[in-house]
Amino acid sequence: MTTTRKIIHLDLDAFFCAVEEQRDPSLVGKPFAVGGKPEERGVVASCSYAARQRGVRSAMPMVHALRLCPNLTIVPARHRVYEHISQQVMEIIHRLTPQVEQISIDEAFLDVTGIDLPLRQIASQLQADIYQQLGLPASLGGATNKLVAKIATDVGKAANRSDKPPMAITIVPPGDEAAFLGPLPVQALWGVGPKTAARLKLLNIEKVGDLAARSEQEMVELFGKHGYDLVIHARGIDDRPIITQHQIKSISQEVTFTKDIRDLRLLESALLELSESVGRRLKEEKLKGSTVKIKLRWPSFVTVTRQVTLTQATDQEQIIFETAKHLFHKLWEPEQAVRLIGVGVSGFYRETRQLSFWDLQTEKDRTLQQAIENLQHKFGKQAVQRGAQTTTIRTHSAKRPN
Ligand SMILES: [Mg+2]
């Protein structure tokens, strides 16, 4: 028999807004949204609970949000600050267990099977730690698997009707998964979008419980392999493991401009900022990568990428930037408008921290990196060894890797 797992899903409550309320306490209780200006095709990145009560939602165009809530205060986003605070949250979580899968800037799964305390107690303690140490409200869900834990968080949050953060904790005990999911609409499940929901409705399947009652065979006939997953998930079964950072394949950052950009200086400064951000994350993850990649999207939505392999794995912003710039100029013609620009690093090896031998090795590597960096400053492109080059053309936007 396998042990019953204890999985927690944590989601900060209106994270960007909570950070902005700390900067400006006069925002507390007011309807406000963090995001871009309406005249620049801005969207709502996060909105306060008072704004949510008026129907404002994240990812909504700011123009629409203002129509719903004319007295909405718009606060510009400070992504670097959010990233920094997010790391502090993740540090608190990592003190509890190394089994952490961060799924976005403000969301993570934790496997706390090894902690011999009731799930609710572990969740309350973690919520209190984050609130006391960083002043940030969070909602948590606990269950025997990721699917049910995540839905538990969503259900806890959705029950909130007030203009304050929910700070919900919802625990689904082992064995209660199917009963918990049963009354929820099928859209609560991962992979059920409006299209699938519409098809299910034609089959008289509206609740998760309706789906759970169908045979696997019937659903496979109708939906293929996805049909099998649907039924299994509807019954509250999900054995996907927590994927920790050790399995990170690449680290990348990209930015979509509010207006298409043709100015070389602006494009290069975006490249620099992205390279710095990627370098910072590499250092935090104690990773060095030997492949640097850039991605450009034209106003036509055609996306092109290019990559090179360096002679030495790096986590140094300057090397990433110089390499990205070199790649950029292979793809970009002067005056060409750019809609999105991205920088990524992959091809990792990980520093092993436990052994002092490796620490010494790391020190040596750093000296080498410095030497390469200096060389690069002097000779530019020549210090970069060209590797395999690939050009991918996609007609739709690519998913951002986690
Ligand atoms: Mg959140």
Q: Where are the domains of the chain?
A: 1-173, 179-234, 248-383
Beta strands in 207-286 (DSSP E): 250-261
Angle at 380 between CA 377 and CA 383, to 5 degrees: 100
3-state SS class at 122: helix
CATH-assigned architecture of domain 248-383: 2-Layer Sandwich (3.30)
User: Region 108-129: what's the mean pLDDT?
Assistant: 96
Q: What is the pLDDT of residue 391?
A: 23
Between 99 and 391, whose confidence is greater? 99
Q: Which residues contact 401 (CB under 8 A, 6 or more apart)?
A: 249, 250, 252, 344
d(CA 369, CA 372): 5
Expressed in angstroms and rounded, the spacing between residue 138 Cα and the centre of ligand 1 is 8
CA dihedral 170, 175, 177, 179 (to 10 degrees): -100
Residue 358 has pLDDT above 60, yes or no: no
Token pair 């080498």: residue: 368
Give the CATH number of domain 1-173; options: 3.30.1330.40, 3.30.70.270, 3.40.50.300, 3.40.630.10: 3.30.70.270
Q: What burial letters (b/e) apply to 105-117, b meaning 16+ CB within 10 Å?
A: bbbbbbbbbebee
Q: Which residues lie at CB < 5 A from ion ligand 1?
A: 11-12, 106
Please identify every residue annotated as catalytic.
107
Are the CB atoms for 372 and 318 separated by under 8 Å? no
Cα 128 from chain centroid (whole Å):
23
Give 102 Cα–ligand 1 centroid separation in angstroms: 12
- The CATH-assigned architecture of domain 179-234 is Orthogonal Bundle (1.10)
Dist. CA 15 → ligand 1 center (Å): 6
Distance 67 CA to ligand 1 centre (A): 24
Is the confidence at residue 194, as pLDDT, over 50? Answer: yes
- 179-234 shares the fold of 1-173: no
Give the best-scoring range by mean pLDDT among 8-17, 38-47, 217-226: 8-17
Chain segment 33-49, per-residue pLDDT in tens: 999 999 988 889 999 99
User: What's the pLDDT at 178?
Assistant: 97
Residue 245 has pLDDT above 80, yes or no: no
